[in-house]
Structure formats: C-alpha cells, structure tokens
C-alpha cells in the first residue's frame, strides 16, 4: 500500500504501529475487554485464526497483568506463581499450533498443552477473503464462526467465554440462535475502532452452558444446519431473535472513519508484513522466467 492509502491515514493503524501491535485489530479486543472485562482472572486462553497475532499480543499483555494479583490471604508480597497459558500466534510466552480447527487432533493438541484442563476463554478474529457479494461473505463468515463454536465446545470450561467476529446480515438470527444454545448471554459488540462502514461486529458469548447430555463431536459438527425444522421456523417474522447490541470504546476518542492529519514523517511499521505465499512466483514473473520455459 502506498503512503497515501486509507490504511496509512487510519488513526488506529498508525497507533498500532507506534505502540507495537501487529495490527489495528488489537484495539478491538482491548475495547471489548474494557466493556465486558472478559479477560479478568483468565489463566488459559485460545486464539483461533491468530495471524498476524495482534489479539495474541493483547492476551499476553492483559493476562500477564491480571496474573499478578495477591493471594486470598491479602499478602501483596505473594503473587500467583502459575503463569497464564495461551495457544495462539508465534509470540514469546505463547504456544503456536498449526492445525485445522475442524479436526480432533487440534483439540487434543490444545488440551495436551493445558495438561487436560479446559480453556477459560476462546477468541476468534478470523475472516474469509471477502469477494464483495455480501450474502456469500456473510454465509462463509457464519460457517467460520460455527466451526469456531464447534471446537470451543471441546476445549472451553463451563462458565467460559467465546468472542468471535461476525458479519451482520439478514440471516444472523440463525447464528445467534445456535450461540444461545450454548451460552447464557450473547451480545453483539461493535468496537469504536471498527469502521462504521464495515458490517463486521463481534459476538461476546458469556457463561458457557452446553445443552444437557450434549457430547462434543467433530464427526457431526454444528455447521450442519437444517432450515426446515420447527426451531428455525420460529425465528421468522415477529418472533425473530434479537440480541443486545453494545458499542464499545470511548465516544470522545478517535473515530475509525475519520481522517486525521499525518505527522511530518510517517512511521515505518515495527512489525514487518506477512510474506505472501505467491511472492516467489511474482518475482519469477518479473524476471520473465515463465516465458523462457520451453513449451
């Protein structure tokens, strides 16, 4: 991107580079935590679809801060000796797992790192490569959220929290209904650092309580939706399901859609961008390599 592109002018993009966050999305999780306090007393966290790792950075920072609390005897000299455990992007004090979130092997790896214990919170800021067809993009994003929910049922403790990115659309009611089957409270949160022009939002699902006799399985995941059953038919018309909506962040703070004056000298990113997988192919094409290959 050029120096004058929209992302270069965006205030949260520039603040992320100045403060060392890998992406501007770090502020979204920070604002959600400030509103809901979901990272308080969390000792085991999982960040799904963690690249480039800004949410993982937030987890490391907030969980490390929260772990330095005094013991019950109020002796401030005694701190928690058990450091938080985080499964996410490749960072210091974080374990990285490269796996498919729809596979049982990934579940076993995560629980193995937690020594058989369950996670306190699962976050997912993943999203597909959007193509501009909103109905299709919303559907694919909903399937990604349901995949995250499915693995969450394997690794999250009762009473835990799930935070995931969603695209709000006409069929988001069906997604809310699935989430409310597993969580006592579901809230749609829109951080101030998320552009108003974007259809993205985040579901904050609190107090994980799976249905009675529910057995998590990867062989018949939650993604298998039936649009003909009575449960979904009840969600149409006046019975349409609505969840609370919360705008996170300080209203007097920066506006993600506002253009702010640039400094005289633009700052270089502290974190280099991810190398594209096709970078080598582009370099070979520029060298006219493919035209030299005999047919």
| Token representation of residue 28 | 């979204």
| Catalytic residue list contains 165 | yes
CA distance 107 to 16: 32
Is the pTM higher than 0.85?
A: no
pLDDT of residue 5: 52
pLDDT of residue 233: 47
pLDDT of residue 263: 63
Q: Work out the average pLDDT over 267-281.
A: 63
Residues near 203 by beta carbon (within 8 Å), at least 6 away in sequence: 145, 162, 163, 164, 166, 175, 176, 179, 186, 187, 188, 189, 243
Confidence of residue 227 (pLDDT cuts 50, 70, 90): very low
Decide which of 30 and 69 is more confident.
30
Q: How far is CA 133 from CA 129, 139, 140, in A?
A: 11, 10, 11
pLDDT of residue 215: 86
Please identify which of the residues 17, 43, 165, 190 carries the catalytic annotation: 165
Confidence of residue 32 (pLDDT cuts 50, 70, 90): very high
Asked if residue 269 has pLDDT above 60, the reply is no
For the ranges 94-108, 149-163, 175-189, 263-277, the lowest mean pLDDT is seen at: 263-277
Decide which of 290 and 78 is more confident.
290
- Among the CATH numbers 3.90.226.10, 3.40.50.300, 1.10.10.2840, 3.40.50.150, which is that of 3-291? 3.40.50.150
pLDDT of residue 200: 94
pLDDT digits (tens, 9 = 90+) for 164-215: 999 998 888 889 988 999 999 999 999 999 998 889 999 999 999 998 888 8
Confidence of residue 133 (pLDDT cuts 50, 70, 90): confident
Q: Where do the structural domains in the chain lie, given as residue ranges?
A: 3-291
What percentage of the chain reaches a pLDDT higher than 70? 78
pLDDT digits (tens, 9 = 90+) for 104-121: 999 999 999 999 899 999
Residues near 116 by beta carbon (within 8 Å), at least 6 away in sequence: none
Q: Which among 12-16, 43-47, 127-131, 259-263 has the top mean pLDDT?
A: 43-47
27 close to 12: Cβ distance less than 8 angstroms: yes
pLDDT of residue 45: 96
Asked if residue 77 has pLDDT above 50, the reply is no
pLDDT of residue 81: 57
Asked if residue 152 has pLDDT above 50, the reply is yes
| Token representation of residue 90 | 């490749």
Look at residues 5, 8, 72 and name the one whose alpha carbon lies nearest to residue 263.
Answer: 8
């Amino acid at each position: 991107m050029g120096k004058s592109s929209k992302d270069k002018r965006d205030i949260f993009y520039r603040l992320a580079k100045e403060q060392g966050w890998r992406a501007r999305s770090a502020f979204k999780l920070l604002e959600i935590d400030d509103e809901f306090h979901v990272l308080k007393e969390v000792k085991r966290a999982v960040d799904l679809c963690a690249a480039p790792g800004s949410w993982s950075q937030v987890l490391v920072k907030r969980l490390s801060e929260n772990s330095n609390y005094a013991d019950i005897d109020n002796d401030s000299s005694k701190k928690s000796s058990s450091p938080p455990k985080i499964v996410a992007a490749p960072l210091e004090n974080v374990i990285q797992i490269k796996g498919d979130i729809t596979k049982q092997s990934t579940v076993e790896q995560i629980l193995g790192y937690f020594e058989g214990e369950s996670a306190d919170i699962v976050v997912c800021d993943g999203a597909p490569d959007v193509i501009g067809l909103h109905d299709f993009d919303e559907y694919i994003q909903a399937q990604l959220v349901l995949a995250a929910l499915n693995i969450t049922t394997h690794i999250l403790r009762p009473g835990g929290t799930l935070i995931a990115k969603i695209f709000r659309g006409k069929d988001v009611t069906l997604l809310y209904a699935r989430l409310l089957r597993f969580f006592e409270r579901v809230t749609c949160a829109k951080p101030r650092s998320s552009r108003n022009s974007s259809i993205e939002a985040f579901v904050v699902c609190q107090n994980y309580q799976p249905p009675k006799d529910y057995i998590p399985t990867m062989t018949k995941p939650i993604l298998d939706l039936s649009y003909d059953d009575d449960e979904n038919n009840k969600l149409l018309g006046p019975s349409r399901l609505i969840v609370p909506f919360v705008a996170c962040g300080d209203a007097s703070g920066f506006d993600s859609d506002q253009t702010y004056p640039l400094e005289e000298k633009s700052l270089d990113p502290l974190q280099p961008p991810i190398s594209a997988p096709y970078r080598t192919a582009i370099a070979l094409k520029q060298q006219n390599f493919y035209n030299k290959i005999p047919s």
